[in-house]
């Protein structure tokens, strides 16, 4: 059986534009939410977001290319560059057809879409010839392949806020079934744009805690009132174990399983019975041959919306039984907001580092737990603890559920 | 507008859109062969020209404007 390990990590996030900074800030409980600076949000009901700060596009993107890339694609290239360098993956000796790319996004080039639509209203002849190739969700996956000469399987799986979890899960399966030896997998999103913030705000999905941005993302807290839009990218290098060994690559962790289900209930609201979410967790345990009481850590989807956190809690209880009360559960979104299509990837990266270092980051802003959220969400700072197996949950509008299970790598 | 004034504006657009070194933008330079443009680049370039000079370049004319000099000549004639 082919085994899949993680050999490289890369991120761009609201609390760090490299993996080391991101991880240190997660452990320190640093808040990444503030006032929107990308556009004038003064007449918006939501004026806050978790924006990426102090970001310089990598020099491998030429000035000419830079003008022809949406921000989400720029984030993706930076995170891919960090992950590929971290893995010390040199394409020269590789068979390019054995290295693929699976980078997704929930929405794609939304900012560009908005700007080009303004041009369309002036005249159809003013729409950029680059509009379509810059905007499509899969352009980041294609761009990374072009830059590094990777000719293996390449496409983008789209499932809203679960996009990058599915993208990584499917990349894992591609390697397992023998279609590739290495996959560059993850997601990127740049949704801090007027149309996106207005759309999510009018759904009443977002926190309106405009007077206290640093307290707005508060998963599992009784006063949570919605999620905070975040932006960035997370990219992993997944690699077949023997291939990684032959190159002498360092190994962060092993991906042990991936399961996906659908609620088949409602486009935006999760099924209140949590049946399909819990089934996905049970299924990933089955596929990995791991017992419920061997799970020590869950990186929750934990969005800070009233419905998600309550129903995710039910799903964990249904899947793990009494053991649910002994598992450490944390929400990365409490610090970086919701990176939508990139969320699953940056959160899986946090999960992998937790497993590798036997440490979990806290859930910040959890001041008074919702009585219906009665599990251990690690509210009081980072925790040192032994982790045998961990899972990362991702759920998306449309009712898409994806769960990935990781463990330490043991020979 | 004199031919020199047209030339200066065209050269500026080319430098901006194609990100090329100013010294490469000679009148004989071919957009694709010499300046590294692809087909979409040339479309965008001519859109920039249309916007700057407030002209419309019909597709059958656009196809012939393959070099810097040809664009300048076309505009000089059109704007005279």
Q: What does the DSSP 8-state code read for residue A230?
A: B
Task: Determine whether the interchain pair B44/A130 forms a contact, defined as Cβ–Cβ distance below 8 Å.
Answer: yes
Q: Which fold has domain A4-247?
A: Peroxisomal Thiolase; Chain A, domain 1 (3.40.47)
- For residue B39, the model assigns a pLDDT of 87
Burial environment of residue A182 by CB neighbours within 10 A (0 to 12, 13 to 18, 19 or more): buried
Q: What is the mean pLDDT of residues A266-293?
A: 97
- Assess whether B73 carries a catalytic annotation: no
ipTM: 0.77
Task: Determine whether the interchain pair A62/B51 forms a contact, defined as Cβ–Cβ distance below 8 Å.
Answer: no
Alpha helices in A1-109 (DSSP H): 19-27, 63-66, 71-86
- Residue B54 pLDDT grade (very low, low, confident, very high; cuts 50, 70, 90): very high
Q: What is the mean pLDDT of residues A273-297?
A: 98
* pLDDT(B80) > 90: no
Q: What is the CA radius of gyration of chain B?
A: 11
Q: What is the rounded distance in angstroms from the CA atom of residue A374 to the CA atom of residue A353?
A: 26
Residue A92: Cβ within 10 Å count: 5
Per-residue pLDDT tens for A124-167? 989 999 999 999 999 999 999 999 999 999 999 999 999 999 99
Crossing angle of the two packed helices A71-86 and A139-148, in degrees rounded to 10: 40
CATH 3.40.47.10 fits A257-407, yes or no: yes
Of A62, A63, A129, the CB nearest to B44: A129
Task: Determine whether the interchain pair B40/A64 forms a contact, defined as Cβ–Cβ distance below 8 Å.
Answer: no
CA A230 to chain centre: 11
Q: What is the mean pLDDT of residues A77-85?
A: 98
Instruction: Search chain A and give the residue with CA nearest B40.
Output: A129
* pLDDT(A63) > 90: no
For residue A2, give how far its alpha carbon lies from the nearest alpha carbon of chain B (Å). 42
Per-residue pLDDT tens for A13-54? 999 999 999 999 999 999 999 999 999 999 999 999 999 999
Q: What is the rounded distance in angstroms from the CA atom of residue A331 to the CA atom of residue A29?
A: 11
Going by C-alpha positions, the residue among A29, A150, A26 that lies closest to residue A83 is A150
* Structural domains of chain B ordered from first start: 3-79 (1.10.1200.10)
Q: How many CB pairs under 8 A join A and B?
A: 19
Which residues in chain B are contacts of A63 at CB distance < 8 A?
A: 19
What proportion of chain A, given as a percentage, has pLDDT over 70?
100
Numbered ranges of CATH 3.40.47.10 in chain A: 4-247, 257-407
- Residue A192 pLDDT grade (very low, low, confident, very high; cuts 50, 70, 90): very high
Instruction: Search chain B and give the residue with CA nearest A64.
Output: B19
- For residue B59, the model assigns a pLDDT of 87
């Amino acid at each position: 059986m082919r085994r899949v390990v993680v050999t490289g990590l890369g991120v761009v996030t609201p609390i760090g534009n490299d993996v080391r900074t991101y991880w240190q800030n997660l452990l320190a409980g640093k808040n990444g939410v503030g006032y929107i600076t990308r556009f004038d949000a003064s007449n918006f009901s939501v004026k806050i977001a978790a924006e990426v700060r102090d970001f310089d596009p990598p020099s491998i993107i030429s000035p000419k290319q830079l003008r022809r890339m949406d921000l989400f694609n720029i984030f993706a290239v930076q995170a891919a560059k960090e992950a590929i360098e971290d893995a010390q993956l040199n394409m020269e000796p590789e068979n390019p057809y054995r290295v693929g790319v699976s980078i997704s996004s929930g929405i794609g080039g939304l900012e560009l879409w908005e700007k080009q639509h303004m041009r369309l209203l002036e005249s159809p002849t003013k729409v950029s010839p680059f509009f379509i190739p810059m905007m499509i969700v899969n352009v980041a996956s294609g761009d990374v392949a072009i830059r590094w000469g990777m000719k293996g399987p390449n496409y983008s799986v789209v499932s809203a806020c679960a996009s990058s979890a599915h993208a990584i899960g499917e990349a894992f399966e591609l390697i397992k079934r023998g279609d590739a030896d290495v996959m560059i997998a993850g997601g990127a999103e740049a949704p801090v744009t007027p149309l996106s913030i207005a759309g999510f705000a009018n759904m009443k999905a977002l926190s309106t805690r405009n007077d206290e941005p640093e307290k707005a993302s508060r998963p599992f807290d009784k006063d949570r009132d919605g999620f905070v839009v975040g932006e960035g990218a997370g990219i992993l290098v997944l690699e077949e174990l023997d291939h990684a060994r032959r190159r002498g690559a360092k190994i962060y962790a092993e991906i042990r399983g991936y399961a996906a289900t659908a609620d088949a209930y409602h486009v935006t609201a999760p099924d209140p019975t949590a049946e399909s979410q819990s089934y996905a967790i049970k299924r990933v345990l089955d596929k990995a041959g791991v017992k419920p009481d061997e799970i020590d850590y869950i990186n929750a989807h934990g969005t800070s919306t009233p419905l998600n956190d309550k129903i995710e809690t039910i799903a964990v209880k249904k899947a793990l039984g009494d053991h649910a009360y002994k598992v450490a559960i944390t929400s990365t979104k409490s610090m970086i907001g919701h990176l939508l299509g990139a969320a699953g990837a940056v959160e899986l990266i946090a999960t992998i580092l937790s497993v590798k270092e036997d440490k979990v980051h806290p859930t910040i802003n959890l001041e008074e737990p919702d009585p219906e959220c009665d599990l251990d969400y690690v509210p009081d700072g980072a925790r040192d603890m032994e982790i045998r197996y961990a899972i990362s949950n991702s759920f998306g509008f449309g009712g898409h559920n994806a769960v990935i299970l990781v463990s330490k790598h043991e020979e | 507008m004199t031919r020199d004034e047209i030339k200066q504006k065209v050269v500026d657009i080319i430098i901006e859109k194609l990100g090329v070194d100013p010294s490469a933008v000679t009148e004989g330079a071919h957009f694709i062969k010499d300046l590294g443009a692809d087909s979409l680049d040339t479309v965008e370039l001519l859109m920039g020209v249309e916007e700057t000079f407030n002209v419309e370049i019909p597709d059958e004319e656009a196809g012939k404007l393959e070099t810097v000099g040809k664009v300048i000549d076309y505009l000089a004639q059109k704007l005279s």
